[in-house]
A and B are shown apart, each in its own frame.
Chain A
Amino acid sequence: MANKILLEVVTPDRLLLSKEVDVVVATSVEGEFGVLAGHAPLLATLAIGEMRYRDGNALDYAAVAGGFCEVTGEKVTILAESAELAREIDVDRAKRARERAEQRLAKSQSEQLDYVRAEAALKRAMIRMRVAERAHG
């Protein structure tokens, strides 16, 4: 269909998703943005956040752990460090990751490298859990 846009999510390990959708909403470092077919060329840095896309009435979620997004008129390419579709997320694993990250945060001093990394890990875990929740809720 003419008013659909091709969404591709690529991680270093695989092509996660390649699908024609109506609308894509992703989280850049400056906030959420939506993309429809015919969007002007755009390049954005993605934050650790959720991404959702709608195809007809079906709304799907995915967790994206940072990366880039390139938009051309007919295609959205998301280059993610890592990404997971909502149905693939292992909630238990995310919970464990959150606990680990919290422990590390409590131990390390702020502003140190370890702290920054733990914070990022915590954020990834939280996003995963939120995305999983949304998909099932």
Chain B
Amino acid sequence: MPSQRDILNKISAVKKTRQITRAMNMVAAAKLRGVQEKTERFQPYAAKYAEVLASLSSGVSPDVHPLLVQPEKVEKVGLILLTADRGLCGSFNMNLINAGLRFAKERQAAGQQVEHFLVGRKARDFHRRRGVNVDNALTGVMNTVDFDLAVQVARMGMNAFLAGEVQEVYMVYSHFRSMAAQIPTVVKLLPISPDMAGEAAPTKEGPSLEYLTEPSAEQILVDLLPRFVNVTVYSGLLNTATSEQAARMAAMDNATKNCKEMINTLTLAYNKARQASITAELMDIVGGAEALKG
């Protein structure tokens, strides 16, 4: 049976842990708000983009732009895997990595090679441990997600695609559905299929506007497509960052609760030990008195 002092030490240790997890929960909450605001400000931009692209790309032949060309045979696919840089957020990172692994396995079963593009320290560390080539990795970036980062990530994928190293590019990100549900999702980035933009755009009633264009519609599309990839990647990054903070909040909330429970149990144990020792002391005194009397 542990001594009273041991139990007291343990209680104070758990209390300190609780303080830390509680603080981390609040930090995550603050960061979550920041990312959510960013997402909100980005929404109109993304929506407009999808809308314009959808109205432009309907009925355009894929010869206009290399990013539209559907491959005849896919030998190698690129996989952009977005994870967090830091742990302590429950199964968040593992869920994403598993989604990536599942995807890679399917592709390998179909005889295709998979080239990894890893964003976030957790993805890189995991794949390095498994001996996967991690040259294309960005780490330490998920703390401040901005559009420049999206451009950087998108460029990795697009460069490989345009150089012909990979014939398709996919992205695994965490879709932020709600505070309680973050769903690892796989989306196809390249080649761009015209209906992809259509899906992203809210379906509008009536015929779309006939635009005058300057320069030609095709030229605009050529400029627009790479940027659309940036926009898609950015929204993936924002979703992932939001999910990360939400997952961390939930994990830290749980940890705080567990600490509380543990403190209760320990306090109970301490009180019992204290009582037991008092009882034992009383018995000693009573026993001593009895002995003197006799």
Give A contacts to B, CB under 8 Å: 10-15, 28-30, 33, 40-45, 68, 70, 72, 77, 79, 81-82
Q: Is B134's beta carbon under 8 Å from chain A?
A: no
In the complex where A43-B56, A45-B219, A70-B48 touch, is A13 in contact with B38 (Cβ < 8 A)? yes
Cross-chain contact A30 with B214 (CB below 8 angstroms): yes
Q: Which 8 A-B pairs have the closest CB atoms?
A: A12-B147, A44-B214, A43-B211, A41-B209, A42-B212, A14-B41, A41-B211, A10-B45
Nearest-CB residue, chain B, relative to A70: B52
Cross-chain contact B48 with A77 (CB below 8 angstroms): yes
Q: Which residues of B contact A33 (CB under 8 A)?
A: 214
A90 to chain B, nearest CB (A): 17
A77 to B210, CA, bound (A): 16
In the complex where A13-B146, A14-B41 touch, is A44 in contact with B213 (Cβ < 8 A)? yes
Interface size range of chain B in the complex: 20 to 34
Nearest-CB residue, chain A, relative to B223: A45
CB within 8 Å of A: which B1-47 residues: 38, 41-42, 44-45
Q: Which residues of B contact A10 (CB under 8 A)?
A: 44-45, 48
B243 to chain A, nearest CB (A): 19
Q: Is B173's beta carbon under 8 Å from chain A?
A: no
A97 to B164, CA, bound (A): 34
Q: Is B180's beta carbon under 8 Å from chain A?
A: no
Cross-chain contact A15 with B56 (CB below 8 angstroms): no
Of B49, B56, B147, B212, the contact of A41 (CB 8 Å cutoff): B212
B208 to chain A, nearest CB (A): 9
Q: Which residues of B contact A11 (CB under 8 A)?
A: 45, 147
Interchain residue pairs with CB less than 8 A apart (21): A10-B44, A12-B45, A12-B147, A12-B234, A13-B41, A13-B146, A14-B41, A15-B41, A28-B215, A33-B214, A40-B212, A42-B213, A43-B213, A44-B213, A44-B214, A45-B215, A45-B223, A45-B224, A72-B209, A79-B52, A81-B227
B59 to chain A, nearest CB (A): 15
Q: Is B283's beta carbon under 8 Å from chain A?
A: no
Cross-chain contact A45 with B44 (CB below 8 angstroms): no
A2 to chain B, nearest CB (A): 20
Cross-chain contact A43 with B214 (CB below 8 angstroms): yes
